[in-house]
Amino acid sequence: MAEKPSIAIGQVMENRSVAPGHFLLTIRLPLSFATPIPGQFVMIRDPDRDEPLLPRPISVYGFQREEGHAILNLLCRVAGRGTSLFSRMNRGGALTVLGPLGRGFTIDPDVRQLLLVAGGVGAAPLTFLLQEGSLPEPHSGKRQVTAYLGAGTAELLTGLNRFEGFCDLRTATDDGSRGYHGNVTECLALDLAGYDAKSTLILACGPGAMIRSLALLLRDTRIRCQVSLEERMACGVGACLGCAVAIQEGEGRTGYRRVCKDGPVFDIGELLWNSPEESMSLS
């Protein structure tokens, strides 16, 4: 059960560039800030600015408690004006942090093989899963964790150090500069037959094209898969209905769900596809 969200003023302890267009924010928060579940996100905003107006949703990359504070790590990609301003924030700067928000990943105890599939900055919420204590223990025996990380180039494989040594790792780059030469879904496809459908769970996060290709790949298998989606948001708490995603509700009925409140994690089978190649909601 997720803890209650709150609004806190955080202080930037470190803001570091980790790859071209990617930065890692470390924010000190009051100890009272609830512990996020992997897959949950926060809404952040610079309280000293009148614009951009809206806070920006960023998934949790790491969270610890130390010396009377909570420490929140956010791995961000510069996607527009809001994130561009965050990338230039200095140590000591203030950030309003609302969270933790949304529904995170759910890992059943019968899962023996966990596959983490990420494209680009989509690695962030999956990294948090690998943090000590974040993964629930399996019912019996050991759980195998394998990560498939993809990016345009080797230097864009962000957060790699948080995977190396913590799980089996496969990498894929579009330019072939590291690991498999091609996209991460193709890389996973090569291994897929080797995984037992009943005991395997895929947790994925990445750009729309990756989610689409993953849905196509898994369509004829029985492997369970949860994906964390990204969408423009205003409120982050389920009120504005701005972050709609089209969902198959069963019995042929369709509807929109809120990425912020009903997600951001959804079963990949719930997502509604206009046609196998196209989604109504993922761009």
Partner 1 sequence: METDKNTVVPGRLVVELCGLALKNPVMTASGTFGYGEEYAPFCDLNRLGAIVVKGLSLEPRLGNPPPRIMETPCGMLNAVGLQNVGVRAFIAEKLPFLRQFNVPVIANIFGETIDEYRRVTEILTRAAGVHAIEVNISCPNVKKGGVAFGAHPDAAAAVTEAVRGETDLPVIVKLTPNVTDITEIARAVESAGADAVSLINTLTGMSVDIERRRPHLANVTGGLSGPAVKPVALRMVWQVVRSVQIPVIGIGGISTAEDALEFLITGAKAVQIGTTNFIHPAATMEIIDGIEDYMIRHRIGCMKDLIGSLQIVF
Q: Which residues bind partner 1 (CB under 8 A)?
A: 4-7, 45, 50-55, 82, 98, 231-246, 254-256, 261, 280-281, 283
For residues 84 and 103, give the distance between their C-alpha atoms in angstroms, rounded to a whole number: 27
Number of C-beta neighbours around residue 181 at 10 A: 13
Q: 11, 27 in Cβ contact below 8 A?
A: yes
Q: 159, 75 in Cβ contact below 8 A?
A: yes
**Which residues are paired to 245 by β-bridges?**
257
Q: How far is the CB of 7 from partner 1 (least distance, A)?
A: 6
Structure tokens at 158: 């962000």
Residues 6+ apart with CB under 8 A from 42: 36, 57, 58, 60, 72, 74, 97, 98, 99, 100, 101
Residues 6+ apart with CB under 8 A from 247: 254, 255, 256, 257, 266, 270, 271, 272
Q: Which is nearer to partner 1, 142 or 253 (CB)?
A: 253
Q: Which is nearer to partner 1, 4 or 222 (CB)?
A: 4
Q: Which is nearer to partner 1, 96 or 153 (CB)?
A: 96
Q: 181, 148 in Cβ contact below 8 A?
A: no
Rounded to a whole number of angstroms, the CA Rg of the chain reads 18
Q: How far is the CB of 245 from partner 1 (least distance, A)?
A: 7
Q: Which is nearer to partner 1, 29 or 243 (CB)?
A: 243
Q: How far is the CB of 261 from partner 1 (least distance, A)?
A: 8
Q: How far is the CB of 279 from partner 1 (least distance, A)?
A: 10
First to last CA, the chain: 31
Q: How far is the CB of 259 from partner 1 (least distance, A)?
A: 9
Q: Which is nearer to partner 1, 77 or 261 (CB)?
A: 261
Q: Which is nearer to partner 1, 167 or 234 (CB)?
A: 234
Structure tokens at 157: 């494989």
Q: How far is the CB of 272 from partner 1 (least distance, A)?
A: 10
Question: Half-sphere exposure of 4 toward its Cβ, with a 13 Å CA cutoff?
Answer: 3
Q: How far is the CB of 50 from partner 1 (least distance, A)?
A: 7
Structure tokens at 33: 């800030």
Q: Which is nearer to partner 1, 100 or 206 (CB)?
A: 100
150: helix, strand or coil:
strand
Q: Which is nearer to partner 1, 5 or 150 (CB)?
A: 5
Q: How far is the CB of 40 from partner 1 (least distance, A)?
A: 14
